[in-house]
Amino acid sequence: MRKGGAPDTLEAYLAEQMKNPRFCRAWERVQEEDRLTRELVRLRIEQGLTQAQVAEMLGTQQAAISRLEHRPPRRPTELLRKVANLYGCDVEAQIRLVPRSPA
């Protein structure tokens, strides 16, 4: 701890903040959103698609897909659902990707 009781490392600060249940819930939500975003990027790349191609398929602009993939934590839920749908997945309340069963 530094003078005045302030934590001297990011880890110490985070440990202190995690004692607050409201902060802890917000932290976990952001971590989950980041995990989902990484998964969407992985699926796009795995399917050999560019951001521009995804945007064209969804009737939006490449910049919207870029923002979705790179600008945490406020991601538009509707666009998340459209992108997940494009990859053959649904978004559940837990905000995680779930592969669809073949129809």
Mean model confidence pLDDT for the chain: 82
Q: pLDDT of 13-44, one tens digit each?
A: 888 888 988 888 878 877 887 888 888 899 99
CA–CA separation, 48 vs 82, rounded Å? 18
The whole model's pTM is what? 0.61
Q: What confidence tier does 103 reach under pLDDT thresholds 50, 70, 90?
A: confident
> What pLDDT shows up at residue 68?
86
CB 59 within 8 A of CB 70: no
What confidence tier does 54 reach under pLDDT thresholds 50, 70, 90?
very high
What domains appear along the chain, each with residue ranges and CATH number? 8-88 (1.10.260.40)
